[in-house]
Structure 1
Amino acid sequence: MSAYVLVAEDDPKQAELVRRYLCREDYTVRVVADGRSAIDEVRRQRPDLLVLDVMMPGVDGLDVCRVLRREYDLPVLMVTARASAEDKLLGFDLGADDYLTKPYDPRELMARVRSLLRRAQPPTSTSLRLGDLVLDPVRHEVRLGARQVSCTPAEFRLLTTLVAAPDQVFSRGQLVEQAYGLDGHITERTIDVHIMNLRKKIEDDPREPAYLRTVYGVGYKATDGRHG
């Protein structure tokens, strides 16, 4: 069965171009023209991937991402003319998995779509445990003791990479390559954003992390949650 891709784009010409390229690769495609419709469509029939324009009338793409991230962990590819580093980091902070700036080559869009869908395939490995932190790659679940922790797909991949190798120190460059691959379009600065967000979710005190620790001048490592 082909993957279902939802495209939220208010520019009719751009939306039609994206739709044609996606259909050429046999994806099932639906196009909506505003943020409210994107939220409603995801709730009606959850897609395998959301291609999300940022600047849309009414509810913009950032608000769409903010709302949907509370409910789903579907891959989100943001597309926008806003190309500053701050805009990109805000998108990642809200839960986007990738970020493509306009104008872009449609072939690059398709490469990123394929990459996100490939990485979203459920793995077959068993659960990972580190202290009270448990990751289930098959169910895409994170638990801290009895509490379930909601993570975006990008955060989950980063956390899995670290927890799978406890006490191993990773540079930011290594985390980009191992968690996302060379085609992941994730920067080293994005790693810092994801680490910050994960600490807010799993640490008792994000300022004094016990699970995700900084090794100054090198990068990050995962430990068993005990201070000291």
Structure 2
Amino acid sequence: MAGILLVEDDPSVRTGLELALARQGHSVTGYATGEEALDHIRARRPEIVILDVMLPGIDGVEVCRRIRKLDSLPIILLTARGDDLDVVVGLEAGADDYVVKPVEPRVLDARIRAVLRRLESASTDRITFGELVIDRGALKVTHNAREIHLTPTELRLLLELVRHPGQVLNRRYLLRAVWDHTHVADSRLVDACVQRIRAKIEPVPAEPIFIHTVRGFGYRFSPP
């Protein structure tokens, strides 16, 4: 189904996930360190990365940052229960989703499939908002004729907001539409992703002109 790079330093957890994901039809390559994973990505690009936050040497958050400098491929974090700070920092570093350990393989498989679905094009429309151009067919975004590199999740969220210009979309709706999540506590996924998109498409991210926050409700795409 998918070529997965799994980065997990616990050999028993890594082997268990490799076997479970292989039974779901995935091709899995496992490593124990971030350094090995980065070397693998440079040599042979996977379709998705499953990345433990707590790694020896370079930790998972730093690995995530380094991957984002190389590529926009999807990243799912594996986090210990209750490590909210790790989750937030990891999402801000560019992760697309997270799963709390101990990991239920069926849950992880569902998250993998959901993330990969975001790679699919929904239509062939080319949408223009001033200097911001979104080509849904080519999955390409440009601003002032400069290509903006978005991850699949960032692109999916931006497209969802663009589909409803001028409307306020609450976090619960966006979680369902973009991440296939229903747990409202995961709303930080939305907030972190919006911050990353703003950093890429807004002339001044602290004073957004495209994606506006409506406090207590959610976000509204209101191009100038």
**TM over 0.5, yes or no?**
yes
What aligned pairs does 1:189-200 form with structure 2 within 5 A after superposition? 189-200=188-199
Distance in 2 of aligned mates of 1:76 and 1:87: 14
Query: Is the 1:54–1:80 contact (alpha carbons within 8 Å) kept by the matching residues of 2?
Result: yes
Tell me, which stretches of 5 or more residues in structure 2 are unaligned? none
Q: Provide the secondary structure at the position in 2 that maps to 1:70.
A: helix
CA RMSD of aligned residues (A): 2.1
Q: Provide the secondary structure at the position in 1 that maps to 2:15.
A: helix
Distance in 2 of aligned mates of 1:31 and 1:185: 32
What aligned pairs does 1:136-151 form with structure 2 within 5 A after superposition? 136-151=135-150
Q: Provide the secondary structure at the position in 2 that maps to 1:95.
A: coil
Q: CA deviation at 1:160?
A: 1.0
Q: Provide the secondary structure at the position in 2 that maps to 1:154.
A: helix
1:189-215 per-position Cα deviation (integer Å, ceiling 9, x unaligned): 332222222222222222321111123
Q: 1:122 to 1:28 in 2, by over 3 A?
A: farther
Q: CA deviation at 1:105?
A: 1.9
Q: 1:71 to 1:55 in 2, by over 3 A?
A: same
**Structure 1 counterpart of 2:171:** 172
1:34-73 per-position Cα deviation (integer Å, ceiling 9, x unaligned): 1011011111111111111111111221111101112211
Q: Provide the secondary structure at the position in 2 that maps to 1:77.
A: strand
**Structure 1 counterpart of 2:113:** 114
Q: CA deviation at 1:150?
A: 2.1
Identity of aligned residues (%): 38
What aligned pairs does 1:79-90 form with structure 2 within 5 A after superposition? 79-81=78-80, 83-90=82-89
1:98-118 per-position Cα deviation (integer Å, ceiling 9, x unaligned): 111211222222222222223
State which drifts further: 94-103 or 186-195.
186-195
**Structure 2 counterpart of 1:96:** 95
Q: Provide the secondary structure at the position in 2 that maps to 1:167.
A: coil
What aligned pairs does 1:149-168 form with structure 2 within 5 A after superposition? 149-168=148-167
1:142-194 per-position Cα deviation (integer Å, ceiling 9, x unaligned): 21121222222222111111112221221222222222223699822332222
Q: CA deviation at 1:82?
A: 5.6
State which drifts further: 67-76 or 198-207.
198-207
Query: Is the 1:62–1:91 contact (alpha carbons within 8 Å) kept by the matching residues of 2?
Result: yes
Tell me, which stretches of 5 or more residues in structure 1 are unaligned? none
Query: Is the 1:115–1:183 contact (alpha carbons within 8 Å) kept by the matching residues of 2?
Result: no
Equivalenced residues, count: 224
**Structure 1 counterpart of 2:60:** 61
State which drifts further: 124-133 or 70-79.
124-133
Q: 1:206 to 1:137 in 2, by over 3 A?
A: same
Amino acid at match of 1:114: R
**Structure 2 counterpart of 1:202:** 201
Distance in 2 of aligned mates of 1:15 and 1:42: 18
Q: Normalized against structure 2, the TM-score is what?
A: 0.90
Distance in 2 of aligned mates of 1:174 and 1:159: 14
Distance in 1 of aligned mates of 2:178 and 2:105: 25
Q: CA deviation at 1:88?
A: 1.0
Query: Is the 2:92–2:196 contact (alpha carbons within 8 Å) kept by the matching residues of 1?
Result: yes
Query: Is the 1:9–1:31 contact (alpha carbons within 8 Å) kept by the matching residues of 2?
Result: yes
Amino acid at match of 1:223: S
Q: Provide the secondary structure at the position in 2 that maps to 1:187.
A: helix
Distance in 2 of aligned mates of 1:172 and 1:23: 33
**Structure 2 counterpart of 1:31:** 30
Query: Is the 1:214–1:220 contact (alpha carbons within 8 Å) kept by the matching residues of 2?
Result: yes
Amino acid at match of 1:201: K
Distance in 2 of aligned mates of 1:219 and 1:110: 29
